[in-house]
Every structure is written in structure tokens, then in C-alpha cells.
Amino acid sequence: MLETLNTRRSVRAFKSDPIPEKYIRDILEAAMNAPSAGDERAWQFVILKEQALREEYAKLNRNVPSIRQSPVAIVICGDTSREKYPGLYVYDCGAATENILLAIHAKGLGGFWGHVFPETVANNRTLLNLPEYIIPYSVVPFGIPLNGLPPAKTRYDESRIHLNGW
Amino acid sequence: MLETLNTRRSVRAFKSDPIPEKYIRDILEAAMNAPSAGDERAWQFVILKEQALREEYAKLNRNVPSIRQSPVAIVICGDTSREKYPGLYVYDCGAATENILLAIHAKGLGGFWGHVFPETVANNRTLLNLPEYIIPYSVVPFGIPLNGLPPAKTRYDESRIHLNGW
């Protein structure tokens, strides 16, 4: 398990092979078993498969061009109607996104954490037909890595650790 | 690995036994191998071990009373001086916090995600002697679970999944 945490790397180039439904389900299950504030689970998941939709998504979100190649992508959204504590959906969605990336890696697939920047939220909402109370948070394109998995190199850095205060 | 993702649960009651240094190091390594925006790694980690400090922390942060019992806690902080994209430290710190919780679980320990609420940021900064550019984001108390690990129950919920739009 620690190895999975330590060897995950961002993958941004994909083969076009489709991903089995069971894999997508398992990845979403891991997402929904993430911790959330007061167990509120203020998340929703939009699965992008249609090629035309992914092409359109790439046009509206310039930071994720490889969503054109990836056979599937998950848009992780905050559901403000389910928040117990206003604004904490960002914690829930962050934990869910990381679980998605780890589950992708555990399956031998690759993907990366694409941000939904504030200036593209409205475009995301229109394209994906999201209600006003849903806030797109991140997008994870994934698939079989085109060039295998990048080698792991630990980023452990002792200078970031402070004992009993700064 | 998927099992670790799916069986992690919040643990809030701890034995007072100290945690081996090697475990703490491994948990921090997993944190620092989390993804971050543009690989900026805008995080810092403050380790709370001293009993008096943890007592004081509990007084200032009413949502984490069990930090009094846990032999150790990690305060995950955003380092705004390292951000490539202003404000994205919250993504980095969210992924690092989730990796910490998963590494704790992988070690057979227990812990939980404590929020640092906006109204306690200033108090955290004073108590921990944090520079102005450091923003405390979350706190994870951990240790040996007092009552074993809570049973796992999946939270998979198909109604949260939307194909090709809402």
C-alpha cells in the first residue's frame, strides 16, 4: 500500500483502448470511501466518455488537452446542497480526487489531477448541464499509459518537517 | 491497495503508546509523494508531540479534543511562498492529508482529518510560531486505536454517478 502511495505519478498520454466498466466502478467506489467533513459526502461524479464531449471539454479547459485521448475522464464536483459546513466540499472533493488517482494507479492505469479553474466553472456547468448548486472541482482523465509508467522518485524532503512548532 | 482505500475509517480514540519514528517518517514520505499543482509541493508539516502543546492546541481548536490523547499529530500547512498558482495550495494539502490518512491506515494505526477552520488560523499561527506565508490547513491526530479499527462499510452510491453530463 505504501508503495502505491509512493509510486503514483501523473500520466498525461494515453492509448485509446476502452477501460472495463468494472474498473471504472472500482475507481468510483474508492472515491466514495474517502473521508468527508462530518461524513457529509458532498460530492458528485460526472463520467465523460463520448469523444465529442471530451473534445468540447478540452476546448473549454485549456489545461487538460489530453482529455481528447483518454478514453474516459471523471469530473469531480462539489454538491453544496449536501454540505453540513458551508465551503467544506473542497475537502471532500480533494480526498475523493486523490483516492481516484490512487485507485487508477492500483489498477495499472494512469491519469492526472486536472484543476477546474474558477474562470471555467460556468463553462463546465453549461457543457455538463450541472445544476447551480453543483461546483465542478477537478477532472481526472485516465486510461492505459501510452508510454508505460514514469519511474518513481521519492519527494521526501526533511526540510518540510517541523517538530513542535516552526 | 483498493482494500486499504475502502477500509480506512476515522479513529478518534487512542492508546497513549508512542509511535515509532520510522512510522512517522514513512507517513510523511507518503504525504510528500502526493500530487501537487504543477509539482509545486506547497506544503509544510508541523509534528506535535509535546503533551503540553497538544493540550494547548485542543483548547484553541475545539473540533479536535482527542489530540490530547493521541501521542502525535501532524498539522498540514500550505506554503504560499511556493505556490505556482495562487490559492492552489489547498489542492496540494488535500492530497497530502489523504495520503497521510491512508499511510496511517496501512500501518495499522488510526487517525482522522481535523479541519483548521478560518477562525482558528491566527491562533494556530501564534501557537505554532508559523510565518505569515504559512496557512494551517488540516490536523491529523493519530496513534494506536483504543478500541481497534471500526468495521468497513462501503459508501458506494450509484446515484452520485452521471454519465456524459447531469
Over residues A52-92, the pLDDT tens digits come to 999 999 999 999 999 999 999 999 999 999 999 899 999 99
Chain A CB contacts of B8 below 8 Å: 33, 35
Does B48 have pLDDT greater than 90?
yes
Burial (CB count within 10 angstroms: exposed 0-12, middle 13-18, buried 19+), residue A34: buried
CA distance A96 to A45: 10
Does B134 have pLDDT greater than 90?
yes
Residue range A109-151, pLDDT digits in tens: 999 999 999 999 999 999 999 999 999 999 999 999 999 988 8
User: What average pLDDT does this structure show over A20-29?
Assistant: 98
Q: Can you give the residue ranges of every domain in chain B?
A: 22-143
Q: Report the complex ipTM.
A: 0.96
Does B146 have pLDDT greater than 90?
yes
Q: What is the DSSP letter of A165?
A: -
The CATH classification number of B22-143 equals: 3.40.109.10
The whole-number pLDDT of residue A152 equals 86
Higher-confidence residue: B87 or B134? B134
Q: Is the pTM of this model over 0.80?
A: yes
Of the ranges A114-118, B45-49, B117-121, the best mean pLDDT one = B45-49
**Cβ separation B88–A115 shorter than 8 A:** yes
Going by pLDDT thresholds of 50, 70 and 90, the confidence category of residue B94 is: very high
Q: Does A60 touch chain B (CB under 8 A)?
A: no
The whole-number pLDDT of residue B124 equals 96
Going by pLDDT thresholds of 50, 70 and 90, the confidence category of residue B85 is: confident
DSSP 3-state percent helix, strand, coil across chain A (nearest 5)? 40, 20, 40
Percent of chain B scoring above 90 in pLDDT = 96
The whole-number pLDDT of residue A85 equals 87
**Cβ separation A90–B90 shorter than 8 A:** yes
- Mapped onto helix, strand or coil, the DSSP state of residue B142 is strand
Q: Which CATH superfamily is domain A14-144 in?
A: NADH Oxidase (3.40.109.10)
**Cβ separation A45–B160 shorter than 8 A:** yes
**Cβ separation A162–B45 shorter than 8 A:** yes
The whole-number pLDDT of residue A52 equals 98
CA–centroid distance for B142 within its chain: 9
* Chain B contact probe: residue of A10, A51, A91 with most B CBs at under 10 A: A91
Does B152 have pLDDT greater than 90?
no
Q: What is the DSSP secondary-structure string of A110-164?
A: EE--EE--GGGHHHHHHHHT--TTEEEEEEEEEESBTT-PPPP-----GGGEEET
The whole-number pLDDT of residue A62 equals 92
